[in-house]
Amino acid sequence: METITTAALPGITEDVLRRFDVSGPRYTSYPTADRFVEAFSVEQYRQALNQRAQGGVVGGGAPLSLYIHVPFCESVCYYCACNKVITKHHDRAAEYLEVLIQEMDLTMAELGRAQALSQLHFGGGSPTFLSDEELTQLMDAIKQRFRLAPGAEISIEVDPRTVTSDRLKHLRSLGFNRLSFGVQDFDPEVQKAVHRIQSYEMVEALMQDARALGFESTNVDLIYGLPQQTPESFQRTIQQVATLRPDRIALYGYAHLPTRFKPQRRIDATQLPVAASKLTMLSTALSGFVGLGYAYIGMDHFALPNDSLAVAKRQGRLHRNFQGYSTQPDCDLIGLGVSAIGRVGATYSQNAKTLPEYYDAIRQGQLPIQRGLALNRDDLVRRAMIMALMCQGRVEFESIEVAHLIRVRDYFRSELELLTSMQDTGLVVVEPEAIQVTPLGWYFVRAVAMVFDRYLQADRTRAQFSRII
């Protein structure tokens, strides 16, 4: 392993890196999606929707978030771990939209119409694979079945290679107020190695158009740890992104899991940077973006101080869902489309992962739920602990105890003992009635959260996750 020499990483030694740079979940949910089971039935999902509609235990008046998954992409990016369908045949989108709207109607039959949406997100794949007319059709279908709340966040993931200024204008006219641009890296050699060529100038022009059109927030996605990346090349990308001045930046560590994700088998593993180089890239990004005035939201997000994400972090209102950090309250999420994941009340659910299975279920008049999980009391307590760590970097014992009728020091006696070594290393401070993640600990916040994950007691279960750094 390379020696860490970066001055911006006080406290991080080779020993700390070796001990805490482990494989682990990103905790967009707890329990994590790998714990979903096929024994979870369509009927259980229907019951959760019905309870919400009736204002039962899941809280019918609570805010609602809607996620739409559009799986199509014209070309494959080798790093991608998303559920996608690679095709240049745009006529396939028409059939998908028809079935997607049928799924919406099946859901409305259980949930009831005119539910208020505080958040709407189009993801993929590449949602901008859809034509302007298809995007209009889909948005009209949503507006006919849901009610967009005042100030709702309406966002879409954008592949810069598939949009123009006119397309952005059309998205704005449909009501989208937030854009997320997939950039990953601007270095030509890195782009070539991951099969995603797009120039800085292209993205710069689109960012300028987005501002002129009045989009409230723009996000740029970056990935460190890609093939051919070096700390020096990634620093150049950071500088280029800084000149774009997006409102938000999402910075992800590349997870090389070729046995799980077929496109990654096209990546030459010998070209991947080692852990020490990845840590240097992360440190450079952290110090660089914070030095340029961005607030560090959490393990993978930055935002300008006046952005709603940064405001939510300062006010202690930050949450985390299947799309990452969110300003929205801890709300129900309806997932529509192939492989889409949702959360209603104390249940998680996921749709069929292949188009044939997805189409077949809906054409038979069935919700396409393939697996999921009904959370038990222990899951709910641990979720509260993990999300507090991931979002605020602090757990106040009293709030957990009042909400779940437990004594934290009794319930988590063994976990608090495990935190002793992390406290000795300087990652956390265990106070009499709270746990505080230190600035150093933010590098390894996933490792801190993993202490409270009941499903990760055996090391053998971690191999399927990405490494923390």
pLDDT of 139:
97
3-state secondary structure 47-88: HHHHHHHCCCCCCCCCCEEEEEEECEECCCCCCCCCCCEECC
What are the start and end residues of each CATH 3.80.30.20 domain in the chain?
33-335
User: Residue 11's pLDDT is what?
Assistant: 61
Residues of the chain within CATH 1.10.10.920 domain(s) are 1-31+377-469
Alpha helices in 115-196 (DSSP H): 132-145, 165-173, 188-194
Task: List the end-to-end C-alpha distance of the chain, in Å, as a whole number.
Answer: 14
Alpha-carbon 138 to chain mean position: 23
Edge-to-edge strand order for the sheet containing 434-437? 394-396, 434-437, 428-431
**How many whole angstroms separate alpha carbon 236 and alpha carbon 299?**
21
Give, for all 469 residues of the chain, the pLDDT tens digit: 233 333 444 566 667 766 776 778 888 889 999 899 999 999 999 999 999 988 744 444 677 999 999 999 988 998 888 888 888 889 999 999 999 999 999 999 999 888 899 999 999 889 999 999 999 999 999 999 999 999 999 999 999 998 999 999 999 999 999 999 999 999 999 999 999 999 999 999 999 999 999 999 999 999 999 999 999 999 999 999 999 999 999 998 888 889 888 889 999 999 999 888 888 888 888 888 989 999 888 777 899 999 999 998 888 888 887 777 888 777 899 999 999 999 999 999 999 999 999 999 999 999 999 999 999 999 999 999 999 999 888 999 999 999 999 999 999 999 999 999 899 989 999 999 999 999 888 878 889 999 999 998 655 545 566 666 6
Phi, psi of 146 (to 5 degrees): -125, 165
Q: Which two tokens stand for residue 459?
A: 């090391």
266-302 per-residue burial string, b: 16 or more CB within 10 A, e: under 16? ebeeeebbebbbbbbbbbbbbbbbeeeebbbbbbbbb
Instruction: Find how far residue 23's CA is from the centre of its chain.
Output: 17
CA distances from 300 to 194, 221, 235, 401 (A): 21, 10, 17, 29
Please state, in angstroms and rounded to a whole number, the distance separating the CA atoms of residues 83 and 124.
7
- 1-31+377-469 has which CATH code? 1.10.10.920
pLDDT digits 0-9 by tens, 200-209:
999 999 999 9
33-335: CATH topology is pyruvate-formate lyase- activating enzyme (3.80.30)
> Among all chains, which residue has been given the structure tokens 């229907």?
46
Q: How many residues does the chain have?
A: 469
pLDDT of residue 20: 75
